[in-house]
Amino acid sequence: MAAATARPRPAAPPFGILNDDGSCADEHKAIVSDDDVERILDTMVLNRILDRRLQMLQRQGRLGFYMTSRGEEATIIGAAFCLETTDPIFLSYRELGCLLWRRVPLALVFNQLIGNSRDLCLGRQMPVHYAFRDWGIPSVSSPVGTQLPHACGFAYASKIRRSGEVALAFCGEGTASQGDFHTALNFSGAFWVPAIYVIRNNGYAISTPESVQTAAESLAARADGYGLPGYQIDGNDLLAVVFALRDAVERARAGRGPTLIEALTYRLGAHSTADDPTAYRSDAEAEEWSRMDPFERLRRHARWRGLWSDEVEQASTQAWEKRITDTLTECERHPPPAVESLFDDVLEAPGPQLVEQRDAYLRYWRTKTDKPVSEL
C-alpha cells in the first residue's frame, strides 16, 4: 500500500486569544469572568485527578477500561461552559469534563465505570459509555460517529418544537472521516438546525496521525461544502474556545443555524488503557505539546489576573482527592448487578421465549453455585 502523505498545514494559525505568558488583551478578559475562570480551573483540577486515579484503578484491576482526556480539557469544559444545562451534549467518550462541569454526582460516574448494581445502566455498557439523562447527556455509543446524526436529529426536533434547545456534539478528527459526519453536517446545513459540532483534533485516532485523515487544508474548511460557518481554533486556549462556542450557541439559539468548530489540541495520554502511544509517536512530540497544556495555560492566565495561587490549588486538590476516595470506597462496596437482571428491560412484558431463556440460564448458574439468585 502506498504511504499516505501528510496534508498541507493551514496557511494561517488557528484563532487564539491567550498569550504564552498567560496575559490577554484587556478587552478579552470579560469573555470569562473571574468567578468562572476559578470554577473552570477547579473543574480541570478534578478532571486531572480523576484521569490519574481512574487510570491507576484500571491498572490495579479494579476497572475494566478507561480513557483519559488530559490535554483536551479546555475544549471539553470550555464548550460545556457555553451551554445551558438543558442543552444536550452528545459525547464521543473522551469528554468526562462535560459531566464534571454539569456536576453529575461522582458516585454515578464511578458506578458507571465499575458497572455495579447502582449503575443507572446496570452494567450493560462498557466503562466511559456514560448516559445521564437528567444532566442532558444522552448515551455514548461505541461505533464512532453515531452521536453526530443523533445530535442533528435532536436539533431538528428542537427547531420543529421551537423549544430553543441547542445540541452540541463532539468527535475526534478520525471520526470526522466517517460517513455519519457527512450525514449530520449535510442535513444540519440543509435543514438549518441549531447544532454545533466540535471536532477535537487531538492529533491521533488511536495510532493514525491526523496528517493522513484528509488532503484538505483543515477540517473546519469542510463547513463551506455544507454551507455553514466553520472555524479552526486553538483548542488549548480556554478563552478562544469560549469565544467561538458562545458565538455559535447564540447563533443557533437565534435560529441562525449550525456551526462546525475544529479545535486543535493534543491527547497527552494514551488513547485508552489498552494503548501504548510510545509505539507510534515520539516523546519529543508529546513533550512539545505539553508546553501548550491547556491547564497550565489557564492557570497562568488566572495568576496573571490575580486569581489563583499554589495554596488555592493545593486546597482544591486535597478536597477533591478526599471526596474521590470517600466516594470510590462507597461505590466499590456495591455488588455487581444480579445475573437475572440481564433479562430485565429487554421487553416491557417478557414473552415465553425470553422467560424460557432466563430460566435455562439461571438453572445453568445453579449448577455452579448454591447462592440465591439475587446474589448471583
Q: Is 182 a catalytic residue?
A: no
Q: Is the Cβ–Cβ distance between 55 and 68 less than 8 Å?
A: yes
Question: Taking the complex as a whole, how short is the minimal distance between the CB of residue 87 and ligand TPP, in angstroms?
Answer: 21
259's enclosing H/E stretch is strand 259-264
* Neighbour count for residue 117 (Cβ, 10 Å): 14
Residue from 143, 306, 352, 372 binding ligand TPP (CB under 6 A):
143
Contact between 207 and ligand TPP by CB under 6 A: the answer reads: no
Site for ligand TPP in 16-55 (CB under 6 A): none
**Does the protein bind ligand TPP through residue 269 (CB under 6 A)?**
no
Stretch that binds ligand TPP, among 101-109, 136-144, 186-194, 334-342 (CB under 6 A): 136-144
State in Å, rounded, how far the first CA of the chain is from the last one. 51
**Closest by alpha carbon to 83, among 21, 35, 135, 126?**
135
Closer residue to ligand TPP, CB minimum distance, 158 or 175: 175
- Options 267, 297, 299, 301, the catalytic residue: 267
Which CB, 251 or 267, lies closer to ligand TPP? 267
x/- mask, ligand TPP, residues 82-121, rule CB under 6 A, reads ----------x-x---------------------------
Q: How many CB atoms are located within 10 Å of the residue 351 CB?
A: 10
What is the enclosing helix (H) or strand (E) of 312? helix 310-331
Considering the rule CB under 6 A, would residue 172 count as an interface residue with ligand TPP? yes
Contact between 174 and ligand TPP by CB under 6 A: the answer reads yes
Angle at 144 between CA 142 and CA 149, to 5 degrees: 105
93 carries an active-site annotation:
no
If you write DSSP's letter for every residue of 12-50 in order, what string do you get?
SPPB----TTS---GGGGGGS-HHHHHHHHHHHHHHHHH
Spatial contact of 197 and 151, defined as CB atoms under 8 Å apart: yes
197: annotated active-site residue: no
Q: Is 237 in the site for ligand TPP (CB under 6 A)?
A: no
- Catalytic residue positions, numbered: 267, 271, 280
Contacting positions for ligand TPP (CB under 6 A): 92, 94, 142-144, 171-175, 200, 202, 204-206, 267, 271
